[in-house]
Structure 1
């Protein structure tokens, strides 16, 4: 920290503990003060700007940062600085003290996380709007055909079936968007957590999926003893169902999707795994790296209907439960998704 200014020690400690980088410029336009937070936030050493003219400090800043906005209007306002060689984003605000020997006080705030959230929100809204427009456009176009033209019953039914399918897809997409928004906005407040049997949940899922794709496609294997977990059973069931949907959708119709319980981490990590394996098309390393991104879909599977939101929802649910997801897959060699959940521990029994 600059000590050229005579500042009481207790004030110095307070300023050093401040999360904002602070730089002052005196009436002669010389940088005469900077706190240690300036270096932490910008990565620029205090010595490189201290006792230098204001314009030299700006030259130093602009070696490492580019500026959003008009620099001519920043005095008394705010600028956003983006690092040239990293993801760092810094907000710079300026105050002009009155009746003081200090000409400017500059405040530097690290807003990297905030900027990333804003970027993700913008991308999410753009992607959601794009995905919603497609079925809406098809519904509008085909309904307009029915209004303005006369068709025989066969042709009319074909158009109506298309409209119905698109409305179904639109409803599914809307529900998934609402699921993500609800989980994020409520931050788990609407989760009903209780001690549950994984075995019972999987038996219910087995029955449902046997009804959907046939008994010959689903194979459930349960060990005799399964530790209980502390979960919202409906949310976990939704997560498993999303994984099951992918397993059945991205594998041949005559192949088997197996569900197993993994117990190898029970003793070491106090977790049990729910593994869903298919012998389907599999994923590349690149595919796996994007799997949990919202609306992302591999170019290999664009012909298969989907929203690209299913695994994002799985991730949100599992992470809220303090669980983890393991993915093992290779192209044309199938995929295994394992959802690891913490084992329920009765703390009263440990007393």
Structure 2
């Protein structure tokens, strides 16, 4: 039964559950207050009844007159007004002035015999009514006098009070339920707007939807979070679309050239006209170069397609100076006529070795690409700061903010090989290692690239 009730409750709308919980909470509170009020009122009335009985006493003449009438066999007249008065002798003789006799118990006999000073208790008279009885010793010391009043006086008042409390409690619970439903509807209105916005985005994929934010409460925070999420999703989608467009544009050039060269080779085979050996070698070299450029571009796209929040591989403490020497060897092969001046101090970082080597190769390739013939490339690694300087034409100040953007290429460098992704990969890899990278004009001409990577504990030497 409990499980069915729980399932039924969970199947209700949120506003209905809030209204029901509010009504139940108010009902419990009202019931607790009503019960406390009822019991406190009854206790107070009983206390006042007991005080009234204690403060009521008969004079000895009335007691003697009552006894005389009982012994003569005549009905004694009422002597206590609304009270029932009863005289109990030590031998057990009982004389009653009232509607019905009250059984004289051991307490009354003990008071009549002088063993107790008084007795106060509740008994039923011969008519079955509950009576509150106060018995005290007569000043003459010959009998005990019992004064009683029916508890129906309290019961009637408590019954009336109970019905009043029940009516007020019912009105309070109904009012609380209505108020809870109104509060739930009002309080959940922002949630309804948020739900409508989410459903709209789901149905239309329109990420430009924004929810009005009012106040500083939890609902306002939720609305701000939703707006920030949709803005981030819209930015991500725009960047994805831009990446696809840029990638398509960059892929079109090598693919077009590759297609042209392949078509020339195929036409030569189909027509039987041999291509001169020198032209054929040049054609094959062009095909190989275009395939190499295409493979490099695809590799760069795969590198950038990975989410920023996901590490590309397991990080470990690696020697930056050693990886830099390997990257320098590869750079010397690409610029054999250049002079590399190096000053490398040992430095260990926490990074992924292949990704870090790729980033360093990209930085050095950038210096090789823009260096003049027989120029010099200066590479210095000191205390976690790596500087790579070339003596090329440099980068105009207005182009510096864009050098790390994907597919961005300087107008003066668009005739050179490359996809415009190298520095983007460098920035991504360095940021994942906790470092920073920047490009700036060098004194005397050229460009200097600066990478700062935080150090890591030096690994112990291998035995």
Provide the TM-score with structure 2 as the length reference.
0.50
CA-based RMSD of the aligned residues comes to 3.6
Alpha-carbon distance change, 331 to 277 in structure 1, aligned in 2, over 3 angstroms: closer
Residue 290 of structure 1 is matched in structure 2 by: 402
Bigger helix fraction: 2
**Alignment partners' CA distance in 2, 1:326 and 1:214:** 26
Unmatched tracts of structure 1, length 5 or more: 25-37, 39-73, 82-88, 93-106, 264-271, 347-351
Conservation of the 8 A alpha-carbon contact between 1:327 and 1:336: yes
How many aligned residue pairs are there?
260
- Secondary structure at 1:184's aligned position in 2? coil
Alpha-carbon distance change, 319 to 23 in structure 1, aligned in 2, over 3 angstroms: closer
Unmatched tracts of structure 2, length 5 or more: 1-177, 212-222, 459-463
Conservation of the 8 A alpha-carbon contact between 1:78 and 1:91: no
**Alignment partners' CA distance in 1, 2:415 and 2:316:** 40
Matched, 1:162 2:286: yes
- Mapping of residues 1-351 of structure 1, within 5 Å: 15=188, 80=206, 89-91=208-210, 109-110=226-227, 111-149=230-268, 150=273, 151-181=275-305, 183-184=306-307, 187-188=310-311, 190-214=312-336, 217-223=339-345, 226-263=346-383, 272-329=384-441, 333-345=445-457
- Secondary structure at 1:140's aligned position in 2? helix
Bigger strand fraction: 1
Conservation of the 8 A alpha-carbon contact between 2:344 and 2:382: no
1:259 deviates by: 1.1
Conservation of the 8 A alpha-carbon contact between 2:321 and 2:347: no
**Alignment partners' CA distance in 2, 1:13 and 1:239:** 56
Alpha-carbon distance change, 216 to 231 in structure 1, aligned in 2, over 3 angstroms: same
Alpha-carbon distance change, 185 to 315 in structure 1, aligned in 2, over 3 angstroms: closer
1:214 deviates by: 3.3
1:184 deviates by: 2.4
Residues 113-168 of structure 1: CA deviation (Å, up to 9, x unaligned): 11111001001001111111221122112221222232222222222222222112
1:342 deviates by: 1.3
